């Protein structure tokens, strides 16, 4: 492809969204909340420089953030170099015109202190005993991702008169 073809492809949604009926940000976040709480696995992309990694991980969604327990791995090189991350959650085996997915860009924060109140709370919410986490041969890290933007792709939105792609910026107080 030529450069202008790449640029045209990159601007596809910008062109398409300009003509689509948009939901207000609160409704987008309510849809995102429903979607995130009904799924458990995301693909987390981290990177910086020549280090790019996309890792499937179990997550939880609450308090306006994505929470992930993880052992070490190359994703932490990306997190060291760049706290900006992207993640995707999606339904499997959808046919043409039946897409349901979510993309999120956000900022990651990593906790390694088992006694940190956020670490303790997340372990409790997942019913993981702190003694178990303390006695691991290698540490279990907690990654908290605060969303900067969320994009939902949902073919069913068209049935409600909206475009199939809906985006909202940073989650504001009271939007959920």
- pLDDT tens digits for 94-112? 666 678 999 999 999 999 9
Identify the H or E element spanning 126.
none
Quote the pLDDT of residue 162: 95
Quote the pLDDT of residue 41: 98
Of 42, 19, 47, the residue nearest 91 (C-alpha): 42
Label residues 16-27 b or e (16+ Cβ within 10 Å = b). eeeeeeebebee
Instruction: Decide if 62 contacts 128 (C-beta within 8 A).
Output: no
Instruction: Decide if 162 contacts 155 (C-beta within 8 A).
Output: no
Q: 125: which strand partners?
A: none
- CB neighbours of 135 closer than 8 A, spacing ≥ 6? none
What the chain holds in terms of domains, given with CATH numbers, is 3-155 (2.30.110.10)
Quote the pLDDT of residue 94: 66
CA dist., res. 20 & res. 24, Å (int): 13
R_g of the chain computed on alpha carbons: 18
């Amino acid at each position: 492809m030529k450069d202008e073809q790449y640029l045209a492809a990159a601007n596809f949604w910008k062109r398409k969204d300009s003509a689509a009926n948009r939901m207000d940000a609160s409704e987008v976040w309510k849809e995102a909340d429903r979607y995130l709480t009904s799924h458990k696995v995301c693909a987390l992309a981290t990177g910086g420089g020549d280090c790019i990694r996309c890792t499937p991980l179990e997550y939880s969604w609450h308090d306006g953030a994505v929470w992930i327990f993880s052992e070490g791995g190359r994703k932490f090189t990306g997190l060291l170099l760049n706290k900006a991350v992207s993640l995707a959650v999606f339904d499997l085996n959808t046919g043409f015109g039946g897409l349901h997915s979510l993309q999120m860009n956000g900022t990651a924060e990593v906790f390694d202190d088992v006694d940190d109140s956020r670490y303790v709370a997340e372990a409790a919410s997942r019913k993981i005993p702190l003694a178990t986490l303390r006695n691991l041969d290698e540490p279990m890290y907690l990654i908290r991702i605060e969303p900067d933007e969320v994009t939902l792709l949902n073919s069913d939105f068209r049935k409600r008169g909206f475009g199939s792609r809906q985006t909202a910026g940073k989650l504001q107080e009271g939007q959920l």
